[in-house]
Structure 1
Protein backbone atom coordinates (compact mmCIF):
# COMPACT_ATOMS: atom_id res chain seq x y z
CA UNK A 1 0.00 0.00 0.00
CA UNK A 2 2.93 2.37 0.63
CA UNK A 3 4.09 2.25 -2.99
CA UNK A 4 0.58 3.07 -4.20
CA UNK A 5 0.41 6.07 -1.86
CA UNK A 6 3.71 7.33 -3.23
CA UNK A 7 2.52 6.90 -6.80
CA UNK A 8 -0.72 8.71 -5.95
CA UNK A 9 1.24 11.60 -4.42
CA UNK A 10 3.52 11.85 -7.46
CA UNK A 11 0.50 11.84 -9.78
CA UNK A 12 -1.10 14.59 -7.71
CA UNK A 13 2.08 16.68 -7.96
CA UNK A 14 2.17 16.15 -11.73
CA UNK A 15 -1.49 17.10 -12.15
CA UNK A 16 -0.99 20.23 -10.07
CA UNK A 17 2.18 21.10 -12.00
CA UNK A 18 0.31 20.73 -15.31
CA UNK A 19 -2.63 22.79 -14.06
CA UNK A 20 -0.35 25.53 -12.71
CA UNK A 21 2.43 25.26 -15.28
CA UNK A 22 3.81 28.74 -14.60
CA UNK A 23 4.48 27.94 -10.95
CA UNK A 24 7.63 26.27 -9.66
CA UNK A 25 7.83 22.61 -8.70
CA UNK A 26 8.22 23.66 -5.05
CA UNK A 27 4.83 25.35 -5.18
CA UNK A 28 3.29 22.22 -6.72
CA UNK A 29 4.87 20.07 -3.99
CA UNK A 30 3.59 22.36 -1.25
CA UNK A 31 0.07 22.36 -2.67
CA UNK A 32 0.09 18.57 -3.13
CA UNK A 33 1.35 18.07 0.42
CA UNK A 34 -1.34 20.40 1.77
CA UNK A 35 -4.06 18.55 -0.17
CA UNK A 36 -2.74 15.23 1.09
CA UNK A 37 -2.59 16.43 4.70
CA UNK A 38 -6.01 18.09 4.68
CA UNK A 39 -8.00 15.80 2.38
CA UNK A 40 -6.46 12.40 1.89
CA UNK A 41 -4.81 11.51 5.21
CA UNK A 42 -7.94 12.02 7.39
CA UNK A 43 -10.07 9.98 4.98
CA UNK A 44 -7.42 7.28 4.75
CA UNK A 45 -7.24 7.00 8.53
CA UNK A 46 -11.01 7.05 9.01
CA UNK A 47 -11.54 4.30 6.42
CA UNK A 48 -9.10 1.88 8.09
CA UNK A 49 -12.06 0.07 9.64
CA UNK A 50 -13.36 -0.85 6.15
CA UNK A 51 -9.95 -1.57 4.63
CA UNK A 52 -10.65 -5.29 4.25
CA UNK A 53 -13.93 -4.67 2.42
CA UNK A 54 -12.52 -2.32 -0.23
CA UNK A 55 -9.91 -2.87 -2.90
CA UNK A 56 -6.79 -0.70 -2.90
CA UNK A 57 -8.00 1.60 -5.67
CA UNK A 58 -11.48 1.99 -4.15
CA UNK A 59 -9.91 2.61 -0.76
CA UNK A 60 -7.69 5.40 -2.07
CA UNK A 61 -10.47 6.97 -4.14
CA UNK A 62 -12.93 6.92 -1.21
CA UNK A 63 -10.33 8.49 1.09
CA UNK A 64 -10.63 11.87 -0.67
CA UNK A 65 -14.39 12.48 -0.23
CA UNK A 66 -14.43 10.99 3.27
CA UNK A 67 -11.51 13.20 4.31
CA UNK A 68 -13.07 16.32 2.83
CA UNK A 69 -16.46 15.54 4.40
CA UNK A 70 -14.75 14.96 7.75
CA UNK A 71 -13.00 18.30 7.38
CA UNK A 72 -16.24 20.12 6.58
CA UNK A 73 -18.37 18.56 9.30
CA UNK A 74 -15.92 18.63 12.19
CA UNK A 75 -14.39 21.96 11.16
CA UNK A 76 -17.87 23.47 11.25
CA UNK A 77 -18.49 22.01 14.71
CA UNK A 78 -15.13 23.16 16.06
CA UNK A 79 -15.84 26.64 14.71
CA UNK A 80 -19.01 26.75 16.80
CA UNK A 81 -17.10 26.03 20.01
CA UNK A 82 -14.57 28.76 19.21
CA UNK A 83 -11.59 26.87 17.79
CA UNK A 84 -9.98 29.14 15.20
CA UNK A 85 -9.27 27.90 11.67
CA UNK A 86 -5.48 28.08 12.10
CA UNK A 87 -5.72 25.51 14.90
CA UNK A 88 -8.20 23.34 12.99
CA UNK A 89 -5.69 22.86 10.15
CA UNK A 90 -3.39 21.03 12.57
CA UNK A 91 -5.95 19.54 14.94
CA UNK A 92 -8.38 17.81 12.54
CA UNK A 93 -5.87 15.59 10.69
CA UNK A 94 -4.23 14.63 13.99
CA UNK A 95 -7.62 13.60 15.42
CA UNK A 96 -8.31 11.52 12.30
CA UNK A 97 -4.90 9.86 12.59
CA UNK A 98 -5.59 9.10 16.26
CA UNK A 99 -8.89 7.47 15.28
CA UNK A 100 -7.06 5.43 12.63
CA UNK A 101 -4.42 4.33 15.13
CA UNK A 102 -7.17 3.29 17.54
CA UNK A 103 -8.75 1.17 14.79
CA UNK A 104 -5.39 -0.49 14.12
CA UNK A 105 -4.95 -1.08 17.87
CA UNK A 106 -8.42 -2.66 18.16
CA UNK A 107 -7.87 -4.92 15.13
CA UNK A 108 -4.70 -6.34 16.65
CA UNK A 109 -5.63 -9.83 17.95
CA UNK A 110 -3.72 -9.30 21.22
CA UNK A 111 -5.84 -6.27 22.15
CA UNK A 112 -9.31 -7.14 20.90
CA UNK A 113 -11.80 -8.12 23.56
Structure 2
Protein backbone atom coordinates (compact mmCIF):
# COMPACT_ATOMS: atom_id res chain seq x y z
CA UNK A 1 0.00 0.00 0.00
CA UNK A 2 2.86 2.34 0.81
CA UNK A 3 4.52 1.66 -2.54
CA UNK A 4 1.26 2.42 -4.34
CA UNK A 5 1.02 5.71 -2.46
CA UNK A 6 4.60 6.60 -3.46
CA UNK A 7 3.83 5.82 -7.11
CA UNK A 8 0.67 7.95 -7.09
CA UNK A 9 2.53 10.86 -5.52
CA UNK A 10 5.43 10.49 -7.97
CA UNK A 11 3.00 10.56 -10.92
CA UNK A 12 1.14 13.57 -9.53
CA UNK A 13 4.35 15.47 -8.78
CA UNK A 14 6.47 14.20 -11.68
CA UNK A 15 8.91 17.12 -11.55
CA UNK A 16 9.90 16.39 -7.96
CA UNK A 17 12.61 13.92 -6.95
CA UNK A 18 11.87 10.44 -5.66
CA UNK A 19 13.14 11.50 -2.21
CA UNK A 20 10.48 14.21 -2.03
CA UNK A 21 7.81 11.71 -3.08
CA UNK A 22 9.01 9.26 -0.41
CA UNK A 23 8.96 11.96 2.28
CA UNK A 24 5.44 13.06 1.35
CA UNK A 25 4.18 9.47 1.21
CA UNK A 26 5.74 8.69 4.58
CA UNK A 27 4.16 11.80 6.12
CA UNK A 28 0.72 10.93 4.72
CA UNK A 29 1.12 7.33 5.85
CA UNK A 30 2.13 8.43 9.36
CA UNK A 31 -0.66 11.00 9.68
CA UNK A 32 -3.48 9.06 8.06
CA UNK A 33 -2.98 5.34 8.04
CA UNK A 34 -1.10 4.51 11.25
CA UNK A 35 -3.50 6.21 13.74
CA UNK A 36 -6.53 4.84 11.90
CA UNK A 37 -5.04 1.36 11.88
CA UNK A 38 -4.39 1.51 15.62
CA UNK A 39 -7.85 2.87 16.40
CA UNK A 40 -9.63 0.26 14.26
CA UNK A 41 -7.90 -2.74 15.84
CA UNK A 42 -11.01 -3.39 17.93
CA UNK A 43 -13.08 -3.99 14.78
CA UNK A 44 -10.41 -5.93 12.86
CA UNK A 45 -12.35 -9.20 13.08
CA UNK A 46 -15.52 -7.60 11.66
CA UNK A 47 -13.88 -6.00 8.61
CA UNK A 48 -12.11 -7.58 5.66
CA UNK A 49 -8.52 -6.60 4.88
CA UNK A 50 -9.44 -4.19 2.08
CA UNK A 51 -12.19 -2.51 4.12
CA UNK A 52 -9.85 -2.30 7.08
CA UNK A 53 -7.13 -0.54 5.08
CA UNK A 54 -9.58 1.80 3.37
CA UNK A 55 -11.30 2.75 6.65
CA UNK A 56 -7.96 3.39 8.35
CA UNK A 57 -7.36 6.56 6.30
CA UNK A 58 -10.53 8.52 7.15
CA UNK A 59 -10.52 7.34 10.76
CA UNK A 60 -6.89 8.40 11.17
CA UNK A 61 -7.47 11.82 9.62
CA UNK A 62 -10.63 12.32 11.68
CA UNK A 63 -8.67 11.36 14.79
CA UNK A 64 -6.20 14.21 14.20
CA UNK A 65 -8.98 16.71 13.60
CA UNK A 66 -11.27 15.74 16.46
CA UNK A 67 -8.69 15.14 19.17
CA UNK A 68 -6.59 18.11 18.05
CA UNK A 69 -9.65 20.35 18.31
CA UNK A 70 -10.56 18.97 21.73
CA UNK A 71 -7.03 19.39 23.08
CA UNK A 72 -6.89 22.94 21.71
CA UNK A 73 -10.26 23.71 23.27
CA UNK A 74 -8.96 22.52 26.64
CA UNK A 75 -5.90 24.76 26.25
CA UNK A 76 -3.14 22.41 25.15
CA UNK A 77 -0.80 24.28 22.80
CA UNK A 78 -0.09 22.97 19.29
CA UNK A 79 3.56 22.15 20.04
CA UNK A 80 2.44 19.71 22.74
CA UNK A 81 -0.35 18.29 20.55
CA UNK A 82 2.18 17.20 17.93
CA UNK A 83 3.80 14.95 20.54
CA UNK A 84 0.69 13.97 22.48
CA UNK A 85 -1.62 12.85 19.65
CA UNK A 86 0.59 10.03 18.27
CA UNK A 87 1.23 8.79 21.80
CA UNK A 88 -2.51 8.63 22.50
CA UNK A 89 -3.23 6.76 19.24
CA UNK A 90 -0.47 4.22 19.88
CA UNK A 91 -1.59 3.78 23.50
CA UNK A 92 -5.15 3.03 22.35
CA UNK A 93 -3.85 0.51 19.82
CA UNK A 94 -1.60 -1.18 22.38
CA UNK A 95 -4.48 -1.34 24.86
CA UNK A 96 -6.69 -3.08 22.30
CA UNK A 97 -3.91 -5.55 21.47
CA UNK A 98 -3.42 -6.21 25.20
CA UNK A 99 -7.16 -6.76 25.76
CA UNK A 100 -7.51 -9.14 22.81
CA UNK A 101 -4.55 -11.27 23.86
CA UNK A 102 -6.00 -14.56 25.19
CA UNK A 103 -3.52 -14.66 28.09
CA UNK A 104 -4.84 -11.37 29.51
CA UNK A 105 -8.59 -11.73 28.95
CA UNK A 106 -10.65 -12.52 32.02
TM-score range, shorter chain: over 0.9
Tell me the TM-score normalized by structure 1.
Answer: 0.88
Runs of 4+ in structure 1 off by over 4 angstroms are: none
Aligned residues: CA RMSD: 1.1
* Partner deviation per Cα, 1:74-105 (whole Å, 9 max, x = no partner): 01011122333333233212211110110000
Question: How do 1:58-97 residues align onto structure 2 when only pairs under 5 Å count?
Answer: 58-97=51-90
Change (3 A) 1:87 1:35: farther
Q: Can you give the 5+ residue segments of structure 1 that lack an aligned partner in the other structure?
A: 1-7
Partner of 2:94: 101
Quick one: distance in 1 between partners of 2:71 and 2:20? 29
User: Alignment length, in residue pairs?
Assistant: 106
In structure 2, distance between residues paired with 1:36 and 1:91: 18
CA shift, 1:110, in A, is: 1.1
Judged with a 3 Å threshold, the aligned counterparts in structure 2 of structure 1 residues 97 and 84 are, in CA distance, closer, same or farther, namely same
Secondary structure of the corresponding residue to residue 52 of structure 1: coil
| Structure 2: gaps spanning 5 or more residues | none
Q: Secondary structure at the match of 1:53?
A: coil
CA distance in 2, matches of 1:36, 1:16: 12
Summarize deviations over 1:53-73 as a string: whole Å, max 9, x none. 111000000000001111110
Q: Deviations over 1:3-61 (max 9, x none)?
A: xxxxx000001111111111111111111111111111000000000001111000000
